[in-house]
Copies of this chain bind each other. A is one copy, B any other.
Amino acid sequence: MDVAVAAGVSQATVARCFNTPEVVAASTRKRIEAAAEQLGYVPNAIARSLKSQSTNIVGAVVPAVGEYWQNVVTCFSRCLTASGRQLLLFSFLDQADVDDTLEAVAQYRLDGLILASATIAEAQLARMRQTGLSLVAFNHPDAAGIVPSVTVDNEAGSAELARHLADLGCARVLYVGGVAAASTDRARFRGAARTLASAGATCNYMEAGAFTYEAGYRAADRIGQLDRLPDAVMVGGDEVAFGMLDGLRQHGITAPDDLLMTGFDGLPQASWAGYDLTTLVQPAEQLAEHAAELAAKGLDAPSNVVPPSVVVAGTLRRGRTTRRDDEPPAPPQSRRGRGCEPQSRASR
């Protein structure tokens, strides 16, 4: 290394100077630092990774679409950066691309991989776990037990929303799910149905077809054609709920006047004055933190032990869409500090 010769020391000493500065003499250190500064030297993480067998990079496979995921990705990035790691992002549009993606991922020896797709087959999860790569399923409840997983408590959260509606006197509730095959969707419906049943209310299911605004908008047409509106509509995701609110308005149906409505996720827009949606806020930062930690820790245990799974409770946000009286709406709250604890910030 040219820094070494410039400072008149060996390459080993230069390496020590950057990793364990306390073992190198102050005078030498100063000389090395001067030479490094002057030559614009910066350690090569690639070479380090090759030697140390650890890249300090965590991958994340995330659907390319939807506000929810975009929000989560930002949280991942923040968490990882804060602990000195990097985020390698794989954003897929088509489920079929995931396989190619995962193959490409394997080439980079990532420290961990976060799988943020609720629809990855469980068989594939089991297979991937064999590779030794430490992976974490994010918001994929059914993956718990197969791979380490981190999810919000979908069932309890949905139950809380349902309880809220029951308290407001709703007797006929319609649950509009995104994709019935998604395990999150099933868990949320389960929580709602169970709670409403025990409160003596009914809870039918309708599938929007996707977790998107458009799907919600279209589903609103079907609701607009019903003979009798339900007392409330529980929507399986905020973005779908936004579409539904806008779609219903085309039919002259508004919340909370004609029916109540709840969402799920707690997107920033839910607190925008234009929607002001009652929803279950996912603690995205917390979830991301857990996922990042689990991914980085690696899974030393053999594959016969049950992997750890983390379930975090969300919090209810009461918005105008379930407000019967005419309180003035709250001013929009900043979306920065929401649950984003300062945290130690192990820089460098």
Interface positions of A (Cβ within 8 A of B): 40, 42-50, 55, 57, 64-65, 67, 70-71, 73-74, 77-78, 81, 84, 86-93, 97, 100-101, 103-104, 106-109, 130-131, 212-214, 217, 242-243, 245-247, 249-250, 268-269, 272-275, 331-332, 334-336, 347-348
Contact = CB atoms under 8 A, between A and B. Distances in A.
B91 A332 contact: no
A152 B246 CA distance: 30
A130 B256 CA distance: 59
Given A46-B46, A104-B86, A332 B243 contact: yes
A213 B46 contact: no
A348 B101 CA distance: 9
A269 B269 CA distance: 10
A334 B47 contact: no
Contacts of A347: 100
Nearest to A271: B213
A332 B242 CA distance: 12
A46 to B, nearest CB: 5
Contacts of A88: 57, 86-89
Nearest to A276: B246
A89 B101 contact: no
